[in-house]
């Protein structure tokens, strides 16, 4: 299965990221200060995009999709 989330490049001089808005998409950016990581993923069209944590750190991103009837 292909990974939906992608790593974002972090500017180590000021610990920042740059991300443009993509027309027609809802993007979720996760900034994890404990692990020093940044990830981005697209939200599902219908359903839930859930950020799960464990012991205060990002553990996983879970996608629950459905279709409108």
| Predicted pLDDT of residue 48 | 95
Separation CA 49–CA 62 (nearest Å): 6
Residue matched to tokens 């989330």: 5
pLDDT (tens digit per residue) in 18-52: 999 999 999 999 999 888 899 999 999 999 999 99
* Confidence (pTM): 0.81
12-22 average pLDDT score: 92
Separation CA 35–CA 9 (nearest Å): 14
Quote the tokens at residue 52: 């799960």
Quote the tokens at residue 34: 């404990």
φ and ψ at 34, to 5 degrees?
-70, -45
Q: 21: how many CB neighbours lie within 10 A of its CB?
A: 7
| Predicted pLDDT of residue 51 | 95
């Amino acid at each position: 299965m292909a990974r939906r989330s992608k790593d974002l490049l972090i500017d180590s001089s000021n610990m920042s990221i740059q991300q443009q808005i993509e027309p027609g998409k809802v993007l979720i950016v996760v900034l994890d200060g404990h692990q020093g990581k940044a990830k981005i993923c697209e939200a599902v069209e219908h359903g839930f995009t859930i950020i799960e944590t464990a012991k205060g750190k990002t553990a996983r991103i879970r996608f629950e999709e459905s279709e409108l009837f």
